[in-house]
Amino acid sequence: MREPKRVAVLSSGGGTNLQALIARFNPAPAPAARVELVIGGRAGIAALQRAARAGVPAVVLDAREIGVDALAARMLDELERHRIDIVVLAGWLQLIPLEVVRRYEGRMLNIHPALLPAFGGKGMYGIRVHRAVLESGVRVSGATVHHVTDRYDEGSIVLQWPVPVLPGDTPEALALRVLAVEHRILPLAVEALASGDHASASPAGEVCFDLLTARVPPDSSVRALLAEPGSTGE
Ligand code: GRF
């Protein structure tokens, strides 16, 4: 039987996407992948508590403390020590050093809370993304999983899912609706990559969701994740 691919999740905050990945992969008997390492961008974040509760090893690599120059070596060291096959950025706010991007080319994914290439790029993160979406007047937003390159939000797109912008939306309400979808598509994309099915999950490939009938998780599931003790809901 094939060994599950060893996944590292990098998070700088609430870690609800991390939780969705752990829920999908870690309890299963023979999953395609397993979360084996969490790298936190700063100490004390909820993602680290989630890792501890799930029994997943975690380390903190805060570039402000160790310095940007040391970050690449420390990160590669941790990824190699834990024999990581796939790296997932889920709310990671620091720039990924070029050496790490190169080492994991084609094996590093990021989740972005909008439909790239719109509303992406430097400075477009967190609630700012949803604010910009609302200010633009578009009626559809969504979530995007894409490969990581050395430029913000520019790697090839693996999966996208639309989310309606509703009348009277606030950035916070839209963020919650998008987050529920993120929790669904990120595990799908990781599973596709881990099972070698990646080509079929490419935009030109055969994986296509029936957007008319597809059910996205109700808000209650994202609220349950956000309500976990210690969650900052970032
Ligand atoms: C998500 O919206 C993700 O798209 C963005 O940061 C947020 C992280 O949320 N990159 P969480 O930490 O997984 O709860």
pLDDT tens readout for residues 143-202: 999 999 887 778 888 888 899 999 999 999 999 999 999 998 999 899 888 987 554 444
Q: What is the pLDDT of residue 1?
A: 63
**Active-site annotation, residues:** 112
**Lookup: tokens for 110:** 């990021």
Q: Give the DSSP H or E segment for 197.
A: none
**Which residue, by CA, sits nearest to atom 2 of ligand 1?**
113
In the block, residue with structure tokens 């210690």: 230
Q: Do 198 and 184 contact (CB within 8 A), yes or no?
A: no
For residue 69, give Cα distances in angstroms to 3, 62, 80, 103.
34, 12, 18, 17
Q: What is the pLDDT of residue 30?
A: 63
Compute the distance between CA of residue 91 and CA of residue 125 in angstroms, rounded to an integer: 8
Cross-strand bridge partners of residue 172: none
Beta strand segments in the chain, E: 5-11, 33-40, 58-60, 86-89, 108-112, 140-147, 157-164
Residue 99 has pLDDT above 70, yes or no: yes
User: If you measure from the C-alpha of residue 73 to the centroid of ligand 1, how many angstroms do you get, rounded to a whole number?
Assistant: 25
**Lookup: tokens for 67:** 């310095």
Q: Do 203 and 157 contact (CB within 8 A), yes or no?
A: yes
User: If you measure from the C-alpha of residue 184 to the centroid of ligand 1, how many angstroms do you get, rounded to a whole number?
Assistant: 13
Q: What is the pLDDT of residue 74?
A: 97
Which ligand 1 atom is at minimum distance from the Cα of 113? 4
Which DSSP string corresponds to 87-130? Answer: EEESS--SPPPHHHHHHTTTSEEEEESS-TTTT-STT--THHHH
**Which residue, by CA, sits nearest to atom 5 of ligand 1?**
91
Torsion sign, CA atoms 28, 31, 36, 40 = negative
225: confidence class by pLDDT, cuts 50, 70, 90: very low
Compute the distance between CA of residue 13 and CA of residue 82 in angstroms, rounded to an integer: 22
Q: Do 110 and 146 contact (CB within 8 A), yes or no?
A: yes
User: If you measure from the C-alpha of residue 91 to the centroid of ligand 1, how many angstroms do you get, rounded to a whole number?
Assistant: 4
**Lookup: tokens for 132:** 């910009």
Q: Which residues have CB under 6 Å of ligand 1? A: 11, 13-18, 90-91, 111-113, 179, 182, 234
